[in-house]
């Protein structure tokens, strides 16, 4: 069927489904293929649900998920010199230096899989980081998941992790099964004091990024104060609109 249709349109006919000529059809296929390589920045305060949405999206679209927070936590766990230096800042809710973060990202983007679609989660977190990213990769679009500060404090302070499976629970919104409750742990930077410090860092260093990306026509804001499924649906809608825009604006 595919061969028959391909032969027909390549010899001057038109594609049956979309009514396109051979050239139009191959251009469309090329553009759709490029779309699989979307490089999206997911912006949001800590606890806005961006990590959860990135995990969903990386499975749905088979893109790689680059989380600087996860990379730093892995470095801390491994006890590397960089991890030990970063830990002090992370425990205090402060941002790790731009230099360290940019080095991590540059190294990660050298992996073979980085040629496919990428979701940047928790990076960039400052305008210098965004400027550096601009030099090493083209960002297709930026989705900002927006949640008010007080809702963030409730979400983060009640967050617990199962160290055996890595599953995240919440004391009120997503209680863990009774039999595993005793083994749950709280991330050391998930206390109210640290959360407020992290929100402060977000407002001074990260929030200006939304305007920075908006000036470049790349920002899409999403209401993140809703269920995981509702936010997921809004994010998918945003990605569909980004893909449509690319389809109509990118060069043949
Ligand atoms: P996260 O899991 O994304 O909330 O990150 C946890 C902590 O890692 C943050 O509070 C920062 O201390 C540090 N961190 C993660 N990503 C960055 C970044 N892009 N720039 C600076 N610090 C970061």
pLDDT of residue 31: 66
How many Å separate Cα 39 from the centre of its chain? 9
Gap from CA of 95 to ligand 1 centroid (Å): 6
pLDDT of residue 252: 47
Ligand 1 atom with the shortest distance to the CA of 46: 4
Gap from CA of 68 to ligand 1 centroid (Å): 6
CB 164 within 8 A of CB 183: yes
- CA dist 232 and 234 (Å) reads 5
pLDDT tens sequence for the chain (252 residues): 556 666 666 677 777 777 888 778 777 776 666 666 789 999 999 889 998 899 998 888 888 999 999 999 999 999 999 999 899 999 888 889 999 999 999 999 988 887 788 999 999 999 999 999 999 988 999 999 999 999 999 999 999 999 999 898 999 988 999 999 999 999 888 899 989 988 998 899 889 999 999 999 999 999 999 999 999 999 998 988 887 777 776 554
- CA dist 9 and 81 (Å) reads 60
pLDDT of residue 101: 95
Ligand 1 site residues (CB inside 6 A) read 46, 68-69, 72, 89-90, 93-96, 101, 122-123, 125, 129, 189, 198
Q: Which of 186, 236, 26, 201 is nearest to 122 (CA)?
A: 201
The long-range contacts involving 100-105, CB below 8 angstroms and separated by at least 24 positions, are: 101/68, 101/125, 101/129, 102/129, 102/132, 104/68, 104/71, 104/72, 105/66, 105/68, 105/132, 105/133, 105/136
pTM over 0.75: yes
- The residues annotated with a catalytic role in the active site are 50, 125, 159, 187, 198
């Amino acid at each position: 069927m595919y061969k028959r249709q391909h032969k027909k349109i390549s010899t001057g006919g038109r594609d049956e489904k979309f009514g396109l000529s051979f050239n139009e059809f191959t251009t469309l296929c090329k553009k759709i293929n490029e779309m699989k390589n979307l490089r999206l920045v997911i912006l949001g305060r800590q606890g806005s649900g961006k990590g959860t949405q990135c995990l969903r999206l990386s499975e749905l679209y088979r893109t790689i998920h680059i989380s600087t927070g996860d990379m730093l936590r892995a470095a801390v766990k491994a006890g590397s010199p960089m991890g030990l230096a970063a830990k002090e800042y992370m425990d205090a809710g402060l941002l790790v230096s731009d230099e360290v973060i940019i080095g991590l990202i540059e190294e990660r983007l050298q992996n073979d899989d980085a040629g496919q679609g990428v979701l940047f989660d928790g990076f960039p977190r400052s305008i210098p980081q965004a400027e550096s990213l601009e030099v090493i990769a083209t960002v297709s679009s930026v989705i900002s998941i927006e949640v008010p500060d007080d809702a963030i404090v409730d979400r983060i302070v009640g967050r617990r992790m199962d160290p055996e499976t890595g599953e995240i629970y919440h004391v009120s919104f997503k209680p863990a099964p009774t039999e595993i409750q005793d083994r749950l742990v709280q991330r050391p930077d998930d206390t109210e004091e640290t959360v407020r410090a992290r929100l402060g860092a977000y407002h001074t260093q990260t929030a200006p990024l939304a305007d920075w990306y908006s000036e470049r026509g790349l920002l899409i804001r999403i209401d993140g104060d809703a269920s995981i499924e509702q936010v997921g649906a809004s994010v998918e809608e945003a990605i569909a609109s980004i893909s449509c825009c690319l389809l109509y604006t990118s060069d043949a």
